[in-house]
Chain A
């Protein structure tokens, strides 16, 4: 069994418990051990691109360092993934930033991006393998048209995230095929849902999330899947659409026959 360090992040402990629970149970069934580091901190939710904001990078660096000796760091939430991956990318290329962080944290040696970071979808693609996953599916999503919603955080900036083609991605569609569903390609799949603007501008959040749901539905989707708690919130609560929205891990667990077990 391969062992990875697993970073859930703040929201998976509270409002997105499903995203977390199904990720854990599915990993176990697929022969992957996920070990949570002790005393992890919130990633901050958004990456600060400013060159002179080292303090905003510290919690991500702590998380990255906690995984230095494992096979890699696994994230599920798109926002955590984005922050941690961008931090890792920048600190591996910016010696001055690495030194500042070293001084802040009182490290013996600077951390310079040694940890490999996997989003859970990358774990499925690159470690488990979609063909292997397919062979373990007990309840395929036969005849289900599923729209993959990438949003912004999984793919961009592609230099740092390096998950997939930022304009024509396929990782979530390949996941949908592996669990027996039919992927639906639609224009808004990598456009923003409105994100945190829901806090102060419901109208804009509605406009953005409705555009995504409309676009997916117009291409014949039965449901939409996401990896991001804030996307799920916007698509469900602000879009005005009644098309079902699920975390991709929920469909994964269901396909692996684990959903009923988790609910018992």
Chain B
């Protein structure tokens, strides 16, 4: 267990993962549940246990839609999306670890795709 990494994720998220009572409502309400290897409640639990490596290497980091459903609906105010975000930042802040690079953009474009999609994806996937 990498203690510094866990501490840094706790600081970055601002979340006290120990408040979680394991009800699973975050995962039940997540629109990306089916697409995820690790679900929102697992992010919270695994960060609590310091089992962060599998999360850092999982595509689940890029499935969160930032819809804040888990943040709004958590009965304990744990705010799981902030934990997902902190783990994702830990992954992409490493040089060379960007999930999206500008060269990939042209083939993703069509005539109607709003700029909003591109800037949002960059903010989420790239440092």
Give the B-binding residues of A (Cβ under 8 A).
9-11, 14-16, 42, 44-53, 56, 77, 79, 151-153, 155-158, 166-167, 191-192, 194-201, 204, 207-208, 228-230, 232-233, 236-237
Q: Which of B63, B113, B116 contacts A10 (CB 8 A)?
A: B116
* B residues in contact with A46, CB < 8 Å: 66, 120, 123-124
Q: Are A196 and B120 in contact (CB under 8 A)?
A: yes
- A interface majority secondary structure: loop
Give the A-binding residues of B (Cβ under 8 A).
11-14, 31-32, 34-35, 62-63, 65-69, 71-72, 79, 81-82, 85-86, 89, 100, 108, 110, 112-124
Q: Are B68 and A79 in contact (CB under 8 A)?
A: no
Q: Are B13 and A49 in contact (CB under 8 A)?
A: yes
Given contacts A49-B81, A51-B14, A195-B67, contact A14 B115 (CB under 8 A): yes
**B55 CB, min distance to chain A CBs, angstroms:** 16
Q: Which of B13, B116, B122 contacts A79 (CB 8 A)?
A: B116
26 contacts between A and B (CB under 8 A): A9-B116, A10-B115, A15-B112, A42-B115, A50-B12, A50-B82, A51-B11, A51-B12, A77-B116, A151-B67, A153-B67, A155-B72, A156-B71, A157-B68, A157-B71, A157-B79, A195-B117, A196-B124, A197-B65, A199-B100, A201-B35, A204-B32, A207-B34, A208-B31, A232-B114, A237-B110
Q: Are A233 and B112 in contact (CB under 8 A)?
A: yes
Q: Which of A158, A207, A229 contacts B114 (CB 8 A)?
A: A229
Q: Are B115 and A199 in contact (CB under 8 A)?
A: no
Q: Are B69 and A152 in contact (CB under 8 A)?
A: yes
**A147 CB, min distance to chain B CBs, angstroms:** 18
**B80 CB, min distance to chain A CBs, angstroms:** 11
* A residues in contact with B115, CB < 8 Å: 10-11, 14-15, 42
Q: Are A52 and B72 in contact (CB under 8 A)?
A: no
Q: Are B71 and A48 in contact (CB under 8 A)?
A: no
**B103 CB, min distance to chain A CBs, angstroms:** 14
* A residues in contact with B14, CB < 8 Å: 49-51
Q: Are A11 and B71 in contact (CB under 8 A)?
A: no
* A residues in contact with B118, CB < 8 Å: 45, 199
CA distance A152 to B56 in the complex (A): 26
**A68 CB, min distance to chain B CBs, angstroms:** 25
Residue of B nearest to A86 (CB): B68
**A47 CB, min distance to chain B CBs, angstroms:** 8
Q: Are A196 and B65 in contact (CB under 8 A)?
A: yes
Given contacts A46-B124, A50-B12, A197-B65, contact A10 B89 (CB under 8 A): no
* B residues in contact with A49, CB < 8 Å: 13-14, 79, 81-82, 85
**A221 CB, min distance to chain B CBs, angstroms:** 20
CA distance A207 to B32 in the complex (A): 10
CA distance A50 to B120 in the complex (A): 15
**A41 CB, min distance to chain B CBs, angstroms:** 11
Q: Which 3 pairs, one residue from A and one from B, show the smallest C-beta to C-beta distance?
A: A45-B120, A152-B67, A156-B68
Q: Are B114 and A230 in contact (CB under 8 A)?
A: yes
Residue of A nearest to B119 (CB): A45
Q: Are B31 and A157 in contact (CB under 8 A)?
A: no
**A209 CB, min distance to chain B CBs, angstroms:** 11
